[in-house]
Amino acid sequence: MQYYLNGFRTGSPDIQPAQREHDPEVLPTQVDVLIAGTGPAGAILTAQLAEFGDLHTLVIEKNGEPLLMGHADGVACRTVEMFNAFGLADRLLREGYSVNETVFWGPDAKDRSQITRNSRVKDVAEGLSEYPHLIVNQARLQDFLFDKASKSPSRTAPYYGVELISVENTNDGDYPVAATVRRNGEEQQIQAKYVVGTDGARSAVRRSLGIKLEGDARNHAWGVMDILATTDFPDIRFKAAIQSADGGNILLIPREGGYMVRMYVDMGDLDPEDREARSRFTSDQLIATAQRIIHPYSLDVKEIAWWSVYEVGQRVAARFDDLDANAAPDASPRIFIAGDACHTHSAKAGQGMNVSMQDTFNLGWKLAAVLQGRAHSSLLRTYSEERQAIARELIFFDTRWSKTMSTAPKDPGKPEAGGLDPNQVQEQFQCGGQFTAGFGTRYTPSLLTGGTEHQHLAAGFPVGERFHSSDVTRIADAQRIGLGHTAQADGRWRLYAFADRDAQGASPKYDALIQFLVEDPDSPLRRFTPAGADVDAVFDLRGVHQGSHTETTVADLPALLVPAKGKYGLRDYEKAFASKLVDGGEEIYEVRGIDRVAGALVVVRPDQYVSMVLPLDGTSALTEFFARFMAGTVVTA
């Protein structure tokens, strides 16, 4: 964490100097971005946009108070990585329950009226991430994000008890989106440059756009309950998939805090003609069903903190913005939907909250870049293009996993009845492991994603996938640190330059790249960094040298890797690294398959996905890539 750049300040460094104040009594009538809904997608977008003090973001929520309990709880490894970029991973790790193993239970072969443990596996495959799969209450996760936003330069905070009624793109003026909201029984008009609907499955924003969720209901009910209970079930503190012979299935999730557990309980098929069937379930029925499933073990529920019953269904919106099939090729969207507003599915794969947050992590930096004049508005078309494809993959995965969890186990004595072999449940779980950990996203070639012709130079950083961190040693202070975890959620592009090495031990291509970035008029740094801004205001270059940190001092580093910044011209010593680890271990060149002779340049988006892998002398391709969507030509003095 870096601070004091522009002078010493007392108090918490988490509280940034205010550029704007929040008035809880007065609802603004003209804003840059209106966010409707304070669920996970809305919370991430709020925290992201709040970092830009020159942008005016309004957040509204129809409920009268913040979420207190219930709803989602699974936090994927990729989500923890994202929270690290907001400086919040430590809070998640402190409060969360770390899921280490998943166990699988099924009918006992000797007595099918009882269950027995069949197998256990690591919950997250080795090497997928430096962070664990966590269980944290959605309410706390949102608290962290809104607390972050309230301490940001814009002092952004939600207005509760404000319901969005309708929204329309008038295509008129600087604030073309007209929104009607209701507060304290009175309607009010708000003008915005952009509106984002993160207002759930019954989204008013989606309804205003005339977009429908397409898909099917499965007519199958699952109950979910957070309980405090005494039990002799031996795996109560493991994540467990439990299949009974004929009583249904349970997915058990230990909750944070050490005592509470969540149970997803299979409540069976629903009559498609009876629309009220789901609402007639009681908490006592959930408990009784759970007790039957885990027989011969006991379950004595002392308290239910929260419970609900939902119907399994998978649906996705036809588009995620206001551009319909008749939109002009050069039109740019003004209204967006994200999270449950554009995709709904079961809760058992733990993906809803995580994918929803990735939706708006994708959108937030794009909105900021366009609003600040750093990118063309055409950039915003990539949101729907990229995230709708991911949503369809989510629906496909969730459909398979939901079917697996709702299918009875195979009875060897009745093969004609069908069912699943217990091993198939484990196989399905492991096959989907990369997706459930949050690493199933791979963006295809587009405006923001290049080709793979140079992938061999850095095989461990696949183009289109998230930049997978690996440890390096910071040259200035010998600190071992994850290279990818140095990136913040600040809207900047990352350029990771991995030095080459010739027969004499020099790095001529690496040196030439840095010279190009500093001096050449075609350099993205010179073309797109605003005059008077710090040299890393738009592009954050990180350099990795081969060998030990003892072979190089900060005095040997090029100025671009120790840039003078801020009002005092203080040096930033946290941009240059050595590949050799201070306490031993495999170096990043081997861990991520980087060519030691040729080196590589890895271009990473502000949302941490790899846009391109280039040779160090691929400067023309670098220039052409950013010229496609970056706005203006501003040569820094």
CATH 3.40.30.20 maps onto the chain at 455-627
Q: Which pLDDT score is estimated for 636? A: 37
Confidence of residue 350 (pLDDT cuts 50, 70, 90): low
How many alpha carbons fall within 13 Å on the CB side of residue 72?
Answer: 26
Burial (CB count <10 Å: 0-12, 13-18, 19+), residue 415: exposed
Distance CA 513, CA 497 (A): 9
Q: Which pLDDT score is estimated for 205? A: 98
Q: Which tokens sit at 313?
A: 């269904």
Q: Which pLDDT score is estimated for 635? A: 38
Q: Which pLDDT score is estimated for 349? A: 61
CATH number for the region 455-627 comes to: 3.40.30.20
Q: Which tokens sit at 500?
A: 């080459």
| Chain-centroid distance, C-alpha 254 | 22
Distance CA 272, CA 269 (A): 9
Q: Which tokens sit at 396?
A: 């496909």
- Comparing 62-71, 168-177, 445-454, 493-502, the range with the smallest average pLDDT is 62-71
Q: Which tokens sit at 488?
A: 């913040």
Q: Which of 169-173, 347-351, 422-426 has the highest mean pLDDT?
A: 169-173
Q: Which tokens sit at 118?
A: 């069949």
Over the stretch 516-562, which tens digit does the pLDDT of each residue have? Answer: 999 999 999 999 999 999 999 999 999 999 999 999 999 999 999 99
- Segment 139-167 shows an average pLDDT of 98
- Segment 440-456 shows an average pLDDT of 97
Quick one: which of 45, 323, 342 has its CA closest to 169? Answer: 323
The residue whose two tokens read 């733990």 is 350
Query: Does 3 have pLDDT greater than 60?
Result: yes
- The whole-model pTM stands at 0.95
Quick one: which of 478, 483, 470 has its CA closest to 585? Answer: 470
The residue whose two tokens read 């003209």 is 30
Number of H helices and number of E strands within the chain? 14, 27
Strand partners, 539: 493
- Segment 592-599 shows an average pLDDT of 99
Over the stretch 273-326, which tens digit does the pLDDT of each residue have? Answer: 887 888 899 999 999 999 999 999 999 999 999 999 988 678 999 999 999 988
Per the prediction, the chain carries an average pLDDT of 94
Distance CA 336, CA 384 (A): 8
Distance CA 149, CA 29 (A): 20
CATH class for the region spanning 91-133+214-313: alpha beta
For residue 296, whether the previous peptide bond is cis, meaning omega lies within 30 degrees of 0, is: yes
Distance CA 219, CA 313 (A): 8
Q: Which pLDDT score is estimated for 300? A: 99
The residue whose two tokens read 């971005």 is 33
Strand partners, 600: 498
Q: Which pLDDT score is estimated for 347? A: 66
CA triple 82-88-92, angle to 5 deg: 95
Question: Between the CA of residue 151 and those of 5, 13, 15, 415, 599, what are the distances in Å?
Answer: 18, 10, 5, 61, 40
SS3 335: strand
Q: Which pLDDT score is estimated for 637? A: 31
pLDDT above 70 covers a percentage of the chain that reads 98
Complete DSSP assignment for 352-415: HHHHHHHHHHHHHHHHHHHHTTSB-GGGGHHHHHHHHHHHHHHHHHHHHHHHHHHSPBP-TT-G
Buried b (16+ CB within 10 A) or exposed e, 237-260: ebbbbbbbbebbbbbbbbbbeeeb
Query: Does 397 have pLDDT greater than 80?
Result: yes
CATH 3.30.9.10 maps onto the chain at 91-133+214-313
Q: Which of 285-294, 337-346, 417-426 has the highest mean pLDDT?
A: 285-294
